[in-house]
Amino acid sequence: GGTAMAAVRDVEIDPEGTFKYILVRLQRPGGGEQRDIVRGTKAAEFHNHIFEKVNPEMEKLGYECKCLGGGKIDHNSKDKKIRVFGLSTGYGKADHSVTVEILKKVYTDYEITWSDDKK
């Protein structure tokens, strides 16, 4: 059941700074259960570097991954603010409003906003 999917964290992003992120849809092969997760890190020079790390991890757990798009996250932990913006050249723009809803589950006491600005 739902245990393996529950073990996958909704959000894994760097604690501070501005970095690329992707929105990833996890799905059981053949449909059924699915959910979207957010992954972002300064270590990734390109959006596909993030996907190339997430994909094998999720395949091990029995999920198919699809990148729904990307953008950037500006994480200010001191002021408890997160801004979601920009896009991925390779994957296109993620639906930042969806990303914000997922971030809010984890960063409950943050002010989280998004825009279509490039920077």
With 0.75 as the threshold, say if the pTM is over it: yes
Give binding residues for substrate as ranges: 20
CATH homologous superfamily, domain 11-115:
Janus/Ocnus (3.50.20.20)
Question: What residues does 18 pair with on adjacent strands?
Answer: 74
pLDDT band at 5, cuts 50/70/90?
low
Residue ranges per structural domain of the chain:
11-115
Instruction: List pLDDT tens digits, range 46-104.
Output: 999 999 999 999 999 899 999 999 999 999 999 999 999 999 999 999 999 999 999 99
- Residues in binding site: 20
Catalytic residues: 47
**Geometric angle at alpha carbon 45, from 39 and 46, rounded to 5°:** 70
**Mean pLDDT value of segment 3-10:** 77
What is the DSSP track for 75-86? EETTTTEEEEE-
Position 1 confidence tier, pLDDT thresholds 50, 70, 90: very low
